């Protein structure tokens, strides 16, 4: 393999730049030529591809977002779109790809391999942490810290006004951000899609808290929870328990931005490095993962099946400590 391409795809995540930097520099150090592909699969289809040197990735390790931009490409979902993408890669002599993204991006990479034989390796970049086979994804730690910082601020005003705040955090299909940030913030309740949500149980808990002189509370809801989100939970609480003055905060895309934490920068550096080393060693159609202290290579097929479990022990801790 002489030439590889690097791209970011799907929702951006803090640390993607650190991963691009690591992949570019590892490739150059191993005698490969590197090409940056802008706007993910869409840029691949449109031939938005440029050669990259070491200086192109200077001063980006600390920056959020992605210098290569990102997109969710509808055209790539079609066989014609993928054929155009593969043709462009061949035009540039690109034999291997490092894809930094989440499950949708890896599905795309997998199809590109099956249909056109393009050798692709993934570095998990998503704040959701919903990929099987890695303890953490790039951006997750930073997003959790962003939530914690915001909820600490909400606590101050909640305590001053004796209010209940229902805070919605990201996590389309998963409760990882909600669970970890909820424990870190001492939330009174955490609602996640992985466990059933019973509004009457939540209300009973708030009632008991109130009777123990807890006059301000924080409930964290993952956006994918079956309750329907923060506004629905707030309405249900208001209708059944009127002691609290209820407020809703939706943290939204603020969770995707900002400078990556030291943890994410190191993780991203390890993953970018391991991705290129993996490609050189003939590993493809796999995602780089970190399990404990080990770097592992997990088949895309396993990584994207949405079967990563929430840590039951953390759920138990959250439940016990919030009483
Ligand atoms: O997958 C990452 C994520 O941030 C989800 O948590 C969220 O539901 C989604 O992306 C939002 O996507 P968009 O930026 O397209 O609104």
Bridge partners of 217, per DSSP, are 164
Indicate if ligand 1 lies below 6 Å from the C-beta of 11: yes
- Residue 323: pLDDT band by 50, 70, 90 thresholds? confident
Q: Report the first-to-last Cα separation within the chain, whole angstroms.
A: 57
d(CA 122, CA 166): 35
What's the pLDDT score for residue 49? 98
> 27 pLDDT band (50/70/90 cuts)?
very high
For 48-60, write each residue's pLDDT tens digit.
999 999 999 999 9
Say if ligand 1 is within 6 A of residue 128 CB: yes
Ligand 1 pocket, residue 209 CB under 6 Å: no
Q: What pLDDT, on a 0 to 100 scale, did the predictor assign at position 112?
A: 96
Enumerate the active-site residues: 128
Asked if residue 270 has pLDDT above 80, the reply is yes
pLDDT value at residue 149: 98
| Overall average pLDDT of the 136-160 stretch | 98
Determine the distance separating the centroid of ligand 1 and the alpha carbon of 144, expressed in angstroms: 15
| Residue 265 binned pLDDT confidence (cut-offs 50, 70, 90) | very high
In percent, how much of the chain has pLDDT > 90? 98
Q: What is the 12 CA–ligand 1 centroid distance (Å)?
A: 9
What are the pLDDT digits (tens) for 189-234? 999 999 999 999 999 999 999 999 999 999 999 999 999 999 999 9
Decide whether any atom of ligand 1 lies within 6 Å of the 146 Cβ.
Answer: no
Binding site membership of 171 for ligand 1 (Cβ less than 6 Å): yes
User: What mean pLDDT do residues 302-317 have?
Assistant: 93
Q: What pLDDT is attached to residue 190?
A: 98
Closest ligand 1 atom to Cα of 130: 1
**Mean pLDDT of all residues in 248-256:** 98
pLDDT at 306 over 90: no
| pLDDT of amino acid 258 | 98
Nearest CA to ligand 1 atom 14: 11
How distant, in Å, are the alpha carbons of 134, 197, 204, 207 from that of 201? 33, 8, 5, 10
User: With a threshold of 0.85, does the pTM exceed it?
Assistant: yes
- For residue 251, report the distance from its CA to the centre of ligand 1, in Å: 12
Residue 120 banded pLDDT, cuts 50, 70, 90: very high
Q: What is the pLDDT of residue 305?
A: 87
Percent of the chain with pLDDT over 70: 100
Mean pLDDT in residue range 81-100: 98
Average pLDDT across the chain, whole number: 97
């Amino acid at each position: 393999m002489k030439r590889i391409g690097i791209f970011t795809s799907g929702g951006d995540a803090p640390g993607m730049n650190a991963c691009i930097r690591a992949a570019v520099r590892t490739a150059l150090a191993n005698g490969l030529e590197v090409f940056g592909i802008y706007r993910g699969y869409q840029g691949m289809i449109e031939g938005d591809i440029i050669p990259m040197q070491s200086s192109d990735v200077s001063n980006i390790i600390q920056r959020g977002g992605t210098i290569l931009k990102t997109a969710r490409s509808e055209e790539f979902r079609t066989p014609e779109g993928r054929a155009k993408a593969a043709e462009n890669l061949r035009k540039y002599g690109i034999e291997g790809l490092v894809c930094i993204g989440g499950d949708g991006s890896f599905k795309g990479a997998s199809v590109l391999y099956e249909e056109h034989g393009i050798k692709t390796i993934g570095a998990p970049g998503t704040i959701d942490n919903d990929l099987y086979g890695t303890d953490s994804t790039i951006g997750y730690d930073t997003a959790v810290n962003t939530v914690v910082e915001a909820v600490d601020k909400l606590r101050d005003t909640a305590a001053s006004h004796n209010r209940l705040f229902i805070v919605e955090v990201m996590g389309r299909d998963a409760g990882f951000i909600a669970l970890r940030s909820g424990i870190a913030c001492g939330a009174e309740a955490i609602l996640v899609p992985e466990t059933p949500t019973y509004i009457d149980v939540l209300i009973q808990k708030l009632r008991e808290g109130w009777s123990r002189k807890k006059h301000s509370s924080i409930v964290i809801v993952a956006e994918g929870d079956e309750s329907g989100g923060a506004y629905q939970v707030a309405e249900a609480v208001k209708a059944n328990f009127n002691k609290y003055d209820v407020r809703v905060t939706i943290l939204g895309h603020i969770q995707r931005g900002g400078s990556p934490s030291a943890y994410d920068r190191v993780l991203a550096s390890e993953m970018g490095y391991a991705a290129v080393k993996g490609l050189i060693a003939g590993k493809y159609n796999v995602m780089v993962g970190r399990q404990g202290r080990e770097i592992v290579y997990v088949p895309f097929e396993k990584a994207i099946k949405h079967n990563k479990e929430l840590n039951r022990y953390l759920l138990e801790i959250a439940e016990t400590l919030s009483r």
